[in-house]
Structure 1
Amino acid sequence: MFDSHFSRVVIVNLISALIITFVACYFLMTFHLTDVLHVANIFGLYFLVIFGIDILVESGDVKNNHERFLIAIALIIIYDAIFLIFVPLIFGSDFLKLSDYLIFVFDGVRFDLTLNVGIYLIIFAVIMLIFNFLLYLKDKEKYGVE
């Protein structure tokens, strides 16, 4: 599984996903939307996890079973760590300190939710794992489960 084709595909997809993210960050910066730079994460994450893993499954380097999800989780962690390190360095924005507040009132009970960048990154990761699961179900008949 871990031969040169696998590592080459993963590295190229990781670099491509980072380029997509940096372009999305630049686009957001040109419109002075520095408060939502973390949204650019979802574009690169989609490319890396959905497109990249689908290539690996089609080539046979990754089996269409639990390996698909383990690779997805590992790539999400690596990608988010790189994202959290390089985006503030490149774009000079301290978006990690930003928070959103949601207030819900149900039958007189008030719920205050604080959503910071870490929570958003977790939400994006869960969305990508759900998409990956849907692709797994679609490809289950085509590639079989071993």
Structure 2
Amino acid sequence: MEDNKPTSKARLWISYILQGLISIMFLMGAVMNLLQTEQAVAGATSLGYPESSVVYLGLILSISTVLYIIPQTSGFGAVILTGWLGGAVATHIIHGDSAFETLFPVLFGIVLWLAIWLRLGKVQVFALFNKY
């Protein structure tokens, strides 16, 4: 059963703000990787990733974030970013990092999907692809 009630302006604005904050943080990380900043390289290598992978990680993160930003592809971008965040959780578990460091990507994932849910009223992945 479809619910065709319009989304309130407050929900839309909260959705856009959350999506914007998440997108800015992901894009900052992507740019740091693409520019191979000292911090990005040090962070990646300390977690066991080779220095040569930093640019590729930046490309993947930037493409998936742009897909998340574009309304027609936000569902697809969210799925890819969810995989990215799952990899971050796995990396932190392998390295025995603190619970906060391990759960932080999970919180990002919740906010990522919350932004879509607030705007569309549903978080069915395949319905997101058929929305537009």
TM-score by structure 1 length?
Answer: 0.29
The structure whose residues are more often strand, as a share, is: 1
Larger radius of gyration: 1
Which structure carries more helix by proportion?
A: 2
Structure of greater relative contact order (alpha carbons < 8 Å, 6+ residues apart): 2
**Structure 2 length normalisation: TM-score?**
0.31
